[in-house]
Amino acid sequence: MNEFVELINDKEVLLIGNGNSLTQKDNSKLIDSYEFVIRFNLAISKDHRYIGKKTDGWFYTMVSEGKCKGIYKSAKVKPKHCIRHHCSPLNIGENNYFIDTQIYRKKFNEMLNMEEGHHASSGLCCVHYLLEYCKPKSVSLIGFDSFSSKNFYEDSHRLSSIKTRHQPDIEKEYLRKVSEEKKIKIL
């Protein structure tokens, strides 16, 4: 993972969440202006005129190797850097990185006091990883709605199934705290 840390060292990094708020106004110029843009999970295979094109990194947690490869294959813009947040590395794309969730997410969940059976989302894990282990010049977020709206690429809101895995109130509080501490900027 040291290569990834070096890659984003002293860069302005933008993390693009999957919240429906991304589709409410044209953010494409803003998104595409950042030095390093990271998107999450299924979002790289979806297109919307307001979310820009730039995709330097893809942070993904999906379990199925076939699904991961399918999403990458269908990506509108192929990310050069693929960061798998899971329990095993996967060789997709030009540059691959791996964060072991069995170690990392467990420590992060304990820090957040997540209830048994719940875990932090991919987006929240990426925010924390960048802040704790990397040295970007800045970290900005857009489209992080803490599950208050459906993902921009879904037809319906899956909040009930999301609440069985994640704890939106804890995630929202963590983002509020690090924003107040000026560690991140929420756009």
CA distances in angstroms from 72 to 22, 48, 63, 114, listed in the order given: 21, 17, 14, 30
pLDDT over 70 (residue 157): no
CA angle 62, 132, 93 (to 5 degrees): 35
H/E segment holding residue 78: none
Asked if pLDDT for residue 184 goes beyond 70, the answer is: yes
- Cβ(13)–Cβ(57) below 8 Å: no
Q: In the predicted model, what is the mean pLDDT of residues 157-166? A: 61
pLDDT confidence tier of residue 89, bands split at 50, 70 and 90: confident
Q: From 80, 87, 38, select the one nearest 65 (Cα to Cα).
A: 87
Q: Is the confidence at residue 162, as pLDDT, over 70?
A: no
pLDDT-based confidence at 70, cuts 50/70/90? very high
- pLDDT of res. 154: 67
Q: Where residue 155 falls among pLDDT bands split at 50, 70, 90?
A: low
The predicted pLDDT at position 158 comes to 57
Cβ-based burial of 69 (10 A; exposed 0-12, middle 13-18, buried ≥19): middle
Determine the straight-line distance between the first and last CA of the chain, rounded to whole angstroms: 28
Question: CATH assignment of 2-186, given 3.90.1480.20, 3.40.50.150, 3.40.50.2300, 3.90.800.10?
Answer: 3.90.1480.20
Residue type, 167: Q
The rounded percent of the chain whose pLDDT value lies above 90 is: 56
Q: What is the mean pLDDT of residues 90-115?
A: 87
**pLDDT at position 35 over 80:** yes
What are the CA-CA distances from residue 26 to residues 43, 51, 111 (Å)? 17, 7, 36
What is the arithmetic mean of pLDDT over 86-94? 86
Name the residue with higher pLDDT: 115 or 101: 115
Average pLDDT over the chain, rounded to whole? 88
Q: What is the pLDDT of residue 8?
A: 95
Residue 1 has pLDDT above 80, yes or no: no
